[in-house]
Amino acid sequence: MEFARKDFKVRTIDDVEIGIRGVQLATPAAAPATPMILMHGTRIPGISEFDLPVEGGSLAEDLARAGHVCFIPDARGFGNSQRPKEMDQPPQPTKPIVRSLEITRDIDAAVNALRAETGAERVGLFGWGTGGTLVLMYAALWPEKVSHIILYNPLYGGVPDHPEIGSGSRWEAPGQPGRFNQEKYGNYYFNQVDMLRKGWDRQIPVEDKDSWRDPRILAAFEQALIDGDPTSLEREPPSYRSPNGMLEDSFYMGHGHKLVHASQVYCRVMVISPEYDLWTRAGDIAALREDLVHAEEVRVWEPKNTTHYILLDRPERGRNEALKRMKNFLSGVPD
């Protein structure tokens, strides 16, 4: 099966250039499926999460195989999108740039391009981590353009005291409970490439990490992070830049602040919350589910013995089941 890819740019309503990768079948499907936006999370750009050039590394390809036209946008400040001018200077101990609400403009530009490309009135959106918060916000702001959303490892802000990013975490300002530590982390951040492996390894509950995760996936992911920032090789070891706006928003959700209320969402909703994920918590998912009072449908899948990276782990470690359930959800088939 052959796939067609294209990398292109669109402009937002506030005139920011957004990079998008499109992935679809080279020969269009006879019965096109729901067009999909795949939205990245807090610090990692889109291609590295959704379209790695190795087997089992491209959610975009897997969805395209089922007839979905997929667009992978980079939010402003990430990957192939325009970066704020502040990112041309060293990080400053000032307010984090590129907040979640701002990014909904970038999503809207991508959605409008996808609707124009496919002729569809409404599209589906998939959001990874805080990317799930972004698509939840978008679905509340533009319900007429959204048919489905998939929230993968989402943060909602339904419960406080998140152990990774809540009270007492390294992200909190010393002596200022509940305040993000912008003095230390600043407006944007240099991320070490090996941060990915370290975080992933923490969640894999066996000594032989390669038995759970194909090493080619990890290598391709790390290379995509380097390729996603033209300045990454200017530093030793290589690092890639990301705005801290979504990180600050995540911090506040970790304290129990809802940045959007799920009662404002009317489309079909699927939530994926792997057991070993350190971002999503059962109480937060329960609060989200309780608030989705107007959603046309709600499916929650909380797979046991799975990591935050279930979509990039080996097929038998949950990936195949995740793909099956997502395709069922998007096509209206019961699990």
Q: What is the pLDDT of residues 243-261, one digit of tens each?
A: 999 999 999 999 999 999 9
Paired sense of beta strands 70-73 and 36-39, if any: parallel
Read off the pLDDT band of 28 (50, 70, 90).
Answer: confident
What average pLDDT score do residues 304-309 get? Answer: 98
Q: What are phi and psi of 27, to 5 degrees?
A: -105, 115
Q: Say yes or no to pLDDT of 211 above 90.
A: yes
CA dist., res. 320 & res. 335, Å (int): 14
In this prediction, residue 42 carries a pLDDT of: 97
Paired sense of beta strands 297-301 and 268-272, if any: parallel
In this prediction, residue 75 carries a pLDDT of: 99
In this prediction, residue 266 carries a pLDDT of: 99
pLDDT digits (tens, 9 = 90+) for 141-191: 999 999 999 999 999 999 999 999 999 999 999 999 999 999 999 999 999
What average pLDDT score do residues 276-305 get? Answer: 98
300 burial type by CB count under 10 A (0-12 exposed, 13-18 middle, 19+ buried): middle
- Number of neighbouring beta carbons within 10 Å of residue 142: 15
In this prediction, residue 57 carries a pLDDT of: 98
Q: Say yes or no to pLDDT of 283 above 90.
A: yes
Nearest to 154 by CA among 112, 195, 125, 193: 125
Q: Say yes or no to pLDDT of 29 above 90.
A: no
pTM above 0.85, yes or no: yes
In this prediction, residue 335 carries a pLDDT of: 85
- Strands (DSSP E) contained in the chain are 3-11, 17-25, 36-39, 70-73, 123-128, 146-152, 188-192, 239-243, 268-272, 297-301
Q: Say yes or no to pLDDT of 1 above 90.
A: no
What average pLDDT score do residues 59-70 get? Answer: 98
In this prediction, residue 31 carries a pLDDT of: 81
Nearest to 126 by CA among 302, 270, 301: 270
pLDDT digits (tens, 9 = 90+) for 4-19: 999 999 999 999 999 9
**Cis peptide upstream of residue 28 (ω within 30 degrees of 0):** no
In this prediction, residue 151 carries a pLDDT of: 99
- 3-class SS of residue 20: strand
Which domains are delineated in the chain? 3-331 (3.40.50.1820)
